[in-house]
Chain A
């Protein structure tokens, strides 16, 4: 039966912009990076020691800006705190507010405890404004006994243990935000939270690899090959899980061929060809899969391995961003009449434009740079 296109009259306005693409992206980076740190603290993966602190601070820096895209998207940002004042227990977005705050608090405490020895040391050694800053940061307590160190180590481990499920809840919940919208057949699947969780881990690990290699290059330090190799293995594993789940979801939809499959197949073959087929699948999934397959081979020289891992890391970061785009924007490119498609005009300027998006992605990195000035990101033996 042939049909001419028809779009519900309110549907041409794509209401969830690139900001809502960035929000799950940044949240995913947070939880992925945290898991890297937790692998060191909880699962005693000593090989990850060179990046453990970096991962933790990266998680905090991205977490601090995770809600900024949401604020820019809100039409009444000044009312944002209504989410905390009169929250609705049935709203995924509202409950996310609590999960996010809990997680942010956990991260702050974790970072503070991990860096406390250095903070206290500087509080004692520095004078003037700098000294005052560190004394405030140390909450006025300017000594650390061995007993305190033991207790801190225990609390850090405990927080990391709580943090792992919290990370999963955080990124899974973002997936739930989309997966629970029954009006949208491209979103409404129970796999959505799991897909978000898996790709969050992949993006976080990839971000740590890329950041670590970049910062090593900047500091003219040779990256720890074993650490990068271990990270590549984790990245490879999480990428395989993430992409498998994404493909499983798609295959399932296609095989079931439900009432709205014709819309989704048209969406993929006509409207998301570049961002899904080429960027997410070919460039973002297939390429890094082979790159990482090679780079994790033990006999590969360290230099080649770091290059391959770094490249794979960048590609995975692109993959996950494309995946968020394809879900969020892709899900709004068809009308709920299921008879027609709309365009999403992406502008440079404006509150929800490309420049604002670039700034949002740059801010956590800027924060990381500042954090690197304030706190020692590298293990003491390396320095």
Chain B
């Protein structure tokens, strides 16, 4: 009995220490319990709510179908041409504001739909909706660049050959009236109907 008491007296500092560590550990586990997000682990080992948050971000890039709801005439115009595959956004910008206003205008006809502006030459422009006849827009796709496939027969559902040009040669061959002009392409070509 005495030996046990002696042992207890000799080890009480270790006991206190162990209690402290246990208390710390328990305190941490308690704290941690409150710090694990609610939806954590509901689907897998991650915060399930993150899926909904990421999925809730707004879509920015508009599919052509959105534009063609109102501009069906353009759809018809370019239906059988190579530019069917080219998105409206590539030459006209994101049109976020324009589409939002157009959607509101369905219910309340007095909503004004802001019209397109001229392009500022910036591919990442802030202009919501623009009309461009600038050659830079055309050449982004049509300028012959090393790396473009040699035999490219088909673009997105249109079984016809894609046309690349060497700009200077092409302008000379076709005897462009104003080869220096930014809008020289539109001397001969239409944007929507690509038949020359």
Residues in chain A within 8 A of chain B (CB atoms): 81, 84-86, 88, 105, 109, 112, 116, 138-141, 145, 147-148, 150-151, 155
CB of B10 within 8 A of CB of A145, answer yes
Residues of A within 8 A of B163 (CB): none
Given A147-B6, A148-B13, A151-B11, output 9 extra A-B contacts at Cβ < 8 Å.
Answer: A86-B36, A105-B21, A109-B17, A112-B17, A116-B13, A139-B16, A141-B16, A147-B9, A151-B10
8 contacts between A and B (CB under 8 A): A84-B32, A88-B45, A109-B17, A141-B13, A148-B9, A148-B11, A150-B10, A151-B10
Residues of B within 8 A of A155 (CB): 14
Q: Measured between alpha carbons, how far is A140 from B16 in the docked complex, in Å?
A: 9
CB of A139 within 8 A of CB of B13, answer yes
Residues of A within 8 A of B11 (CB): 148, 151
CB of A81 within 8 A of CB of B35, answer yes
Which B residue's beta carbon lies closest to that of A90?
Answer: B45
Which 3 A-B pairs have CB atoms at the shortest separation, nearest pair first? A147-B10, A148-B10, A85-B35
Which A residue's beta carbon lies closest to that of B34?
Answer: A85
Interface of chain A: mostly helix, strand, loop or mixed = helix
Interface of chain B: mostly helix, strand, loop or mixed = helix
Give the tally of cross-chain contacts (CB within 8 A).
Answer: 39
In the complex, whether B164 has a CB less than 8 A from a CB of chain A is no
Interface string of B16-58 (1 = CB under 8 A from A): 1100110000001000100111001000010000000000000
Partner pick for A86 among B7, B13, B16, B40, CB 8 A cutoff: B40
8 Å CB interface, B79-128 against A: none
Which A residue's beta carbon lies closest to that of B33?
Answer: A85
Residues of B within 8 A of A85 (CB): 32, 35-36
In the complex, whether B12 has a CB less than 8 A from a CB of chain A is yes
Q: Measured between alpha carbons, how far is A112 from B13 in the docked complex, in Å?
A: 11
CB of A139 within 8 A of CB of B32, answer no
Which B residue's beta carbon lies closest to that of A81?
Answer: B35
Q: Measured between alpha carbons, how far is A86 from B37 in the docked complex, in Å?
A: 9
Contacts A139-B20, A147-B7 given; indicate if A84 touches B13 (C-beta within 8 A).
Answer: no
Residues of A within 8 A of B35 (CB): 81, 85
Residues of A within 8 A of B17 (CB): 109, 112, 139
Query: Chain A nearest CB: distance from B17 CB in Å?
Result: 7
Which A residue's beta carbon lies closest to that of B47?
Answer: A86
Q: Measured between alpha carbons, how far is A59 from B9 in the docked complex, in Å?
A: 31
Residues of A within 8 A of B14 (CB): 151, 155
CB of B28 within 8 A of CB of A84, answer yes
Residues of A within 8 A of B9 (CB): 145, 147-148
Which B residue's beta carbon lies closest to that of A116?
Answer: B13
Residues of A within 8 A of B45 (CB): 88
Q: Measured between alpha carbons, how far is A150 from B11 in the docked complex, in Å?
A: 10
Residues of B within 8 A of A105 (CB): 21
